[in-house]
Amino acid sequence: MAKTRNTLSHLLLLCASFPLGATYADAAELRLSWWGGNQRHEATLAAINAFQKAHPTITVKAEYAGWDGYLSRLSTQMAGGQEPDVIRIDWNWLPQFSRNGEGFYDLNKQKDRLALDDFPPGYLKTADVKGKLQGLPISMTYRSMIYNKTTWDKAGIAYPQTWDELFAAGPVFKQKLGDNYYPLGAAQGASDALDILTLGRSYMAQKYGIDLIDEQNQRIAYSREQVRELFAFYKKLVDSHVLPDQRYFSSFGRSNVYEIRPWINGELAGMYLWDSAIYTYSSNMPKETELETGPFITLSGAKDSGITTKPSSLFAIGKNSKHPEEAAMLINFMLSHPEGVKALGLQNGMPANPKAQKMLEESGVINPDNLLANAYRAAAAQPESKVPVSPFMENQELVQLWTNSLQKLDYGKGEVNQVADDFLSNANRILKRAIR
C-alpha cells in the first residue's frame, strides 16, 4: 500500500510540473540558429521560451548573431556535418548548399507536423529542389518604394507613378531643397549595390518581359544592347539627381545606410527595399518623421509588372539532425501556433502562412497604420509578375562585379558602353561557374 501511495505521489508530482495543454515528446535537445538585430533576437527567444513551456521535454539552444559572419559560420558547420537542427537560411543560398536537393532534410517527410497545407503552394515551390522541400518560408517579401513624406511634402510634388516622373523629381529636389536632397537612396550603398540592380531589373522586366539571368543557358539573359541600356538607366538616375552616385556612399565608409545622417534627417527621401527590412530603416528615424509606401513605378505599355518577390528567409532542418520530428514541431510552433506567431510578430516580415497573418490581425499587430503590412499588401495587390527572379541574382561574385562596375562609371574609369560590355563578359563567366 505504501508503494502504491509513493507511485501515486510521484505521478501527481510529474503532472504538477507540466503545464496544462502541453504536448509531450521524447527528450531532445535542439539547436536553432538565426541572424538579425536585437528586436528579432528578443522575439525569437520569446518564441523559444513559449515552445519549451508547451514541450517541457525538449530543450532548445539558441545560436544567434548579426548578419556579418553568419553565412561563413554556417558554411563551416555544414562542411563538417555540425549544422544546427533548425537553421534560418536565405533563399538564394539554396543553390550553394542544396544544388541537388540533398543539402537539408526533406520537409515533405514532416508534412503533417509542419502543416504544409496551410502554406500557398507557390510559396513552397520557391524552396523545392528536385522534388525535395529544403526550407519553409518564414515570410514572403516584396521590393517596395518607401518615402519620407516630410521631405516630399517640402519638395511639393507627388510620389512618382512612372519612370519619367521619377526622373523629373530629381531636378525639383535639387532646386527646391538643395544639392544634398535626393528622391531616392540605395539600401546597400557603396559596398553592395544590389538594390540598384534590382531596381534596374524591374524596369527591364517591364520593358522586355525577361529576367536578368538565364539559368538554363548559365548566362545573363539580356543582349549586349540591353545590358548597355541597364547601365544607361543607372547613369540617368545619377545624372537626373534621383540617386547619389557610388562616390557619395563611399564617403560614409562601411556604415549601413539606415545608420547614416542623410537617411535619418530625410536628405535621402526614399528607399527601394525589401518590405521585410522596413523596421530596420524606420527604427532610427525621428518620431515626427512619417514614412509611407509609394506607388509602384511602371512603364507605359509594360509587358510585365516587374514586381520582385521572394521568401525573405526560410527555416530548414539540418540533414544531420538526430531529431527531425522535434525540429519540425519547433518550426510549426513558430510559424503556425498562436503563441509562437504572437511572439515573433512581424520581426521576420509578413508571415508566409495566411493563418498566421490572420492571428496577427486579430491581435492588432497588423493594423491600418502598420507600414510593413501596408507595403506588403500594396505589392501583393499588383498584377503577378510572370518573370520570377533568379536566386543567382544575389550571387556574391555577381553583386560585387555589378558594384565595382558602377564605381568605375562613377569615378570616371570608363564610359557606359565599355563598362557594360566588361560587365556582361565577366558576369557570364561567373554564372557559368555558379550554375551547374
pLDDT digits (tens, 9 = 90+) for 102-152: 999 999 999 999 999 999 999 999 999 999 999 999 999 999 999 999 999
Helix (H) or strand (E) holding 179: none
Quickly count helices (H) and strands (E) in the chain. Answer: 18, 11
Residue holding cell 510559424?
335
Q: What is the pLDDT of residue 380?
A: 86
- How far apart CA 207 and CA 127 sit, in angstroms, is 28
Query: For 320, phi and psi rounded to 5 degrees?
Result: -100, 10
Beta bridge partners of 214: 219
Q: CB-hemisphere CA count at 13 Å for 215?
A: 12
Cβ–Cβ < 8 Å for 345, 129: no
Cβ–Cβ < 8 Å for 59, 29: yes
What value, to the nearest 5°, has the Cα angle with vertex 86 and ends 84 and 90?
100
pLDDT digits (tens, 9 = 90+) for 406-434: 999 999 999 999 999 999 999 999 999 99
Q: Crossing angle of helices 324-336/38-54, nearest 10°?
A: 120
Share of the chain above pLDDT 70, in %: 94
User: pTM for the complete prediction?
Assistant: 0.85
* Span of 87-96, 112-121, 148-157, 186-195 with lowest mean pLDDT: 186-195
Letter for the amino acid at 104?
A: F
Q: What is the pLDDT of residue 276?
A: 86
Q: What is the pLDDT of residue 428?
A: 98
* Span of 18-27, 73-82, 181-190, 250-259 with lowest mean pLDDT: 18-27
Strands 28-35 and 86-89, how do they pair?
parallel
Closest CA to 146 of 190, 187, 201, 198: 187
pLDDT digits (tens, 9 = 90+) for 264-292: 999 999 999 999 888 888 888 998 999 99
DSSP-derived secondary structure letter, 85: S
Domain annotation for the chain: domains and CATH numbers: 28-139+311-373 (3.40.190.10), 142-308+384-435 (3.40.190.10)
Average pLDDT along the chain: 91
Q: What is the pLDDT of residue 384?
A: 86
Q: Where are the beta strands (DSSP E) in 325-411?
A: none
Share of the chain above pLDDT 90, in %: 79
Q: What is the pLDDT of residue 435?
A: 92
Beta bridge partners of 29: 59
Cβ–Cβ < 8 Å for 254, 191: yes
* Span of 75-89, 178-192, 237-251 with lowest mean pLDDT: 178-192
Helix (H, G, I), strand (E, B), or coil: what is residue 391?
helix
Cα dist. 85→94, 205, 293, 412 in Å?
17, 39, 37, 49
What value, to the nearest 5°, has the Cα angle with vertex 26 and ends 25 and 27?
115
Kindly tell me if the per-residue pLDDT of 3 is higher than 80.
Answer: no
If one counts every other C-beta atom within 10 angstroms of the C-beta of residue 262, the result is 18
Kindly tell me if the per-residue pLDDT of 2 is higher than 80.
Answer: no
Cβ–Cβ < 8 Å for 48, 84: no
- How far apart CA 189 and CA 228 sit, in angstroms, is 22
Kindly tell me if the per-residue pLDDT of 9 is higher than 70.
Answer: no
Cα dist. 170→173, 183, 297 in Å?
5, 6, 15
Cβ–Cβ < 8 Å for 142, 375: yes
Cβ–Cβ < 8 Å for 86, 31: yes
Cα dist. 340→27, 89, 136, 323 in Å?
21, 19, 15, 20
Q: What is the pLDDT of residue 6?
A: 44
Cα dist. 77→106, 310, 347, 383 in Å?
19, 25, 26, 41
How many residues are given for the chain? 436
Q: Which residues contact residue 49 at a Cβ distance below 8 angstroms, ignoring those fewer than 6 apart?
A: 343
- How far apart CA 313 and CA 24 sit, in angstroms, is 29
Q: How confident is the model at residue 67 (pLDDT cuts 50, 70, 90)?
A: confident
Q: What is the pLDDT of residue 190?
A: 66
Q: What is the pLDDT of residue 8?
A: 39
Strands 136-148 and 309-317, how do they pair?
antiparallel
Taking only Cα atoms into account, the Rg of the chain, rounded to an integer number of angstroms, comes to 24
